[in-house]
Amino acid sequence: MIFCMLETSSRLLSLLALLQARPAWTGTELAERLEVTTRTIRNDIDRLRELGYPVDATRGAAGHYQLGVGAKLPPLLLDDEEAVAVAVGLRTGAGVAGMAESSARALTKLEQVLPHRLRRQVNAISSTMEKGPDNTGSNVADPEIDPGVLTAIAACIRDEHYLRFDYEIPVDVPIRGPGSGVGGELPILVEPYRLVSWQRYWYLVARDEADVWRTYRVDWMSLRMATGRRYVPRPMPGDDYTEFVLRDVATTGWKVHARITVFAPAQEVLSRIHAAVGIVESVDDNTSVLVTGAETLEIVAVYIGMLGLDFHVDGPPALIDHLRTIGNRYLNAVR
């Protein structure tokens, strides 16, 4: 009797793992995988339902079983590689600022049930791995984002609901701020379309009441009461939301802006930069202009220094002074 119970329990776990592995299974497929009859599968499905697992069944020629949506999150069965990947990701991944506590709780729960061999793998990877700094990082602190704000915005995008919020640009940034979004005395009402994470910031791409595409920094948004009003979606051509954020922020959004004359064709400059660095304008066959910017003078200097091309900077004066300082520093290093 005890052996039979253990065998049934083991089979139920295997059945649950199969149901979690892909969206739908026929009874015959499950029976073949577990080497039992379809009647046994039906009985095991009933047992899973008694244990609280929502298993939906579709009858007919295309009949199948699949895990349904329940009132609570059921325990997940992960294979060895999946468990290690999730644990390492929670420990070392760069998640949303503000989610550190929830990530730590999830990791604690996972590590409590990891077999000893897998826990040793996770600890070995975590203790022997370090992450170097991003080459586009800066000396500006990362903004804290409330995960609830991201969730609310994402829900409005999903449900095609208007989003209403206050938008306050800090006094120490350009009047327009990163992105083309502008504040106002009244709450802003937009059609939200996409959340884009870039350079340690979150941006919302939306269409405003003037029918203009805008980029808004999420950490400057204070959501107002949900509107519940639906809009008729008019997506951006080509779903070019990420590129729009890169272009919008590069031209309007940094604390430091610069126009750099580069003594090389535009195509040559474009081949040497990432789209996030800025926009290139052609002047003639041998000259182009790079419109770029960043949060600090230091980052702008790094960008243009990595071009590997001759250039001239007309301004701003602070950037010219900074380049003169680091230029002298480099010269002194080789004298």
Q: Do 246 and 151 reside in the same domain of the chain?
A: yes
- pLDDT score for 2: 38
- pLDDT score for 235: 92
Q: Summarize the chain as % helix, strand, coil (round to 5).
A: 45, 20, 35
Task: Say if CB 153 and CB 197 are below 8 A apart.
Answer: no
Residue 151 lies inside a defined structural domain of this protein = yes
Q: Do 124 and 192 reside in the same domain of the chain?
A: no
Q: Do 264 and 223 reside in the same domain of the chain?
A: no
Strand pairing of 213-217 and 64-67? unpaired
Burial (CB count within 10 angstroms: exposed 0-12, middle 13-18, buried 19+), residue 186: exposed
Q: Do 55 and 11 reside in the same domain of the chain?
A: yes
Q: Do 164 and 219 reside in the same domain of the chain?
A: yes
Spatial CB neighbours of 51, under 8 Å, sequence gap ≥ 6: 12
Beta partners for residue 223, in sequence order: 165
Alpha-carbon distance 45 to 49, whole Å? 6
**Which tokens hold the place of 329?**
């520093």
Along the 335 residues of the chain, how does pLDDT read in single tens digits?
Answer: 434 444 666 788 788 878 877 888 998 999 999 889 989 999 988 888 887 788 888 887 778 898 876 655 666 667 778 777 887 777 655 455 556 677 777 777 777 777 788 778 777 766 665 555 454 455 556 677 777 788 889 989 999 999 999 998 877 665 556 677 777 778 999 999 999 887 677 899 999 999 999 999 998 999 999 888 999 999 998 888 888 887 787 666 567 778 899 999 999 988 887 666 677 888 999 999 988 877 788 888 888 888 889 999 987 888 899 999 999 998 999 88
Residue 141 lies inside a defined structural domain of this protein = no
- pLDDT score for 325: 92
Q: What are phi and psi of 2, to 5 degrees?
A: -60, -40
Q: Do 164 and 116 reside in the same domain of the chain?
A: no
- pLDDT score for 248: 80
Burial (CB count within 10 angstroms: exposed 0-12, middle 13-18, buried 19+), residue 107: middle
What's the domain count of the chain? Answer: 4
Last residue of a domain, one of 17, 45, 67: 67
Alpha-carbon distance 88 to 96, whole Å? 16
| DSSP 8-class letter at 25 | B
- pLDDT score for 187: 92
Task: Please give the single-letter amino acid code of residue 297.
Answer: L
Spatial CB neighbours of 37, under 8 Å, sequence gap ≥ 6: 31
Beta partners for residue 259, in sequence order: 291
Residue 122 lies inside a defined structural domain of this protein = yes
Q: How many helices (H) and strands (E) does the chain have?
A: 11, 11
Residue 96 lies inside a defined structural domain of this protein = yes
Alpha-carbon distance 198 to 276, whole Å? 9
- Residue 28: which domain range? 2-67
- pLDDT score for 122: 75
> What global pTM score does this model have?
0.56
Alpha-carbon distance 320 to 22, whole Å? 58
Residue 137 lies inside a defined structural domain of this protein = no
